[in-house]
Chain A
Amino acid sequence: MMHSEQPCAQQLEDLQKEYEEFAYIVSHDLKAPLRAISNLSAWIAEDLGDDLSPDVEKNIQLLQKRADRMERMINGLLEFSRVPRFDLEVREVNVTQLVQQASDRVRQNHALEIHASSLPTLTTYGKKLETVFFHLLQNAATYTQHENPQVWISATEEENAFLFQVKDNGMGMKEETLDKVFKMFYSAQAKDQHDGLGVGLSLVKKIVQFAGGTISVTSTLGAGTEFQFFWPKTVQ
C-alpha cells in the first residue's frame, strides 16, 4: 500500500505547488504590465495637458477602460482557479438567510425584487452556495429591461440533493446561446451594451460541480431565464 500512496501524496504536493505558481503568475505577473500600460497612458494625457486633442483623449480613455476590463478578467480567472481551494468551511446554512445576504449585495447596485419560498436548511459550503446565488441574482438584475426586475427562488427536496430553481423575468436568451453561457468569458450580450465579463456563470457551474451537483438552464427570449441546480444534501 505504501508504494501506491507515496507517489500519490507527492503528486498532490506537486499539483498544489503548480497551482500556487499559477495563481501567483496570474495575480502578480500579469497585472504588473497592465498597471504600467494604464499608468503610462494617464501620464501621457497629463503631460499633454491642453495640447490633448479630443480624439487622443477619447482613445486614451478607451485604452484605460480596456486595461480595467482585463484586470477584472484576470481577477475572474483567479477566482475561478480558487474554487477548489478557498471558502471550504462547512456549516449549517439557512438558505433563506443566505439568499437574503446575496440579494442585499446585488441590491447595492441594482433594483431587484425577490420571491423566495420554502427554502431548506442544510449543512454545506455556506460561502460557496452564497456565491452561486449571488451570481445568479446579479445576472438576473443585470440582463433585464423590465421596469420591475423580479426573481423567484424555490427548492424541492430529492433523495440526496435539493433542486433549486432560480427564475427571472429578464430579457431571456436565444436557444442557440444557452449551451455557451457557462463558458468562461462568454457573454450573450454585446460588450458595448453590457459591462458583463462572462465570469459569473462559469464560476457558478464550477462551484456547483465542485459541490457534487449539476446545473442547467432554460430560457425564453423576451420572457425570462430559469436556472435549475442540484446541490447535494451532505458534503462528501
Chain B
Amino acid sequence: MDVAATKRAFQSQNIESPIHVAANGKVALDMLKGRGMPALHPTPHIILIDLNMPEMGGIEFLKELRKDPELKACSVFVMTGQNSEQNVLEAYNLNVAGYIVKPIQYDSFLEAIATLHSFWKLIELPN
C-alpha cells in the first residue's frame, strides 16, 4: 500500500528519481551493501523507511546503517503510522533527516511528498 502510494505520488509530482523497494530493513541493507546480490549503484542517498517492518524494523536498520562507513551519510526519512515519543527520539538520535507521520488522506500524503521533493532539490547531497 505505501509503496503504491509513494510510486503514485512520485508520478503525479513528476519526480523521476528511481525507486528501489525493500520488504524490510534486512533486505534494504542487503541491497545497499550488495549482500547476495549486486549492490545498488549509484548508492541511493535518500531512504524512506517505516518503523514497523518484519524481521528488521526501521530503528534496527538505522543502527546498522550508521555503523557502515559507506552508508552512514544517507539521508533517512521515517514515514510511519505512529508517533510515540520514544520512537521519535530514538529515530532522531540516529540522525534521521525527518520523522513524518503518514497522514490518512492521500491529498495530505501528496503534499508531504511534494514538500520532500522541494527539500531534496534544495539540499546538497554527498556523491
Contacts and interface: CB of A to CB of B under 8 A. Distances in A.
Given A28-B52, A31-B104, A67-B104, A39 B109 contact: yes
A58 interface: no
Contacts of B8: 43
Contacts of A96: none
B37 interface: no
B106 A43 contact: yes
A64 interface: yes
Given A28-B52, A43-B8, A38 B81 contact: no
Nearest to A71: B104
B1 interface: yes
B105 interface: yes
A114 to B, nearest CB: 31
Given A27-B81, A27-B84, A43-B8, A34 B105 contact: no
Given A39-B1, A39-B5, A43-B8, A31 B105 contact: no
A68 B106 contact: no
B1 A35 contact: yes
Q: Majority SS of interface residues in chain A?
A: helix
A35 B105 CA distance: 7
Among B8, B83, B103, B106, chain A packs the most CB atoms within 10 A around the CB of B106
Q: Majority SS of interface residues in chain B?
A: loop
Interface residues of B, number: 16
B104 A42 contact: no
Contacts of A68: 104-105
Contacts of B102: 35
A24 interface: yes
A32 interface: yes
Q: How large is the interface on A (under 10, 10 to 19, 20 to 34, 35 or more residues)?
A: 10 to 19
A36 interface: yes
A42 B82 contact: no
Contacts of A24: 82
Given A36-B1, A39-B1, A39-B109, A28 B104 contact: no
B68 interface: no
A43 B11 CA distance: 13
A24 B83 CA distance: 10
B106 A34 contact: no
B107 A35 contact: no
B82 A35 contact: no
21 contacts: A23-B84, A27-B82, A27-B83, A27-B84, A28-B82, A31-B81, A31-B104, A34-B104, A35-B103, A35-B104, A38-B105, A38-B106, A39-B1, A39-B109, A42-B105, A42-B107, A43-B106, A46-B12, A64-B105, A68-B104, A71-B104
Interface of B: 1, 5, 8, 12, 52, 81-84, 102-107, 109
Given A39-B106, A68-B105, 16 more contacts: A27-B82, A27-B83, A27-B84, A31-B104, A32-B81, A35-B1, A35-B81, A35-B102, A36-B1, A38-B104, A39-B5, A42-B105, A42-B106, A43-B8, A46-B12, A64-B105
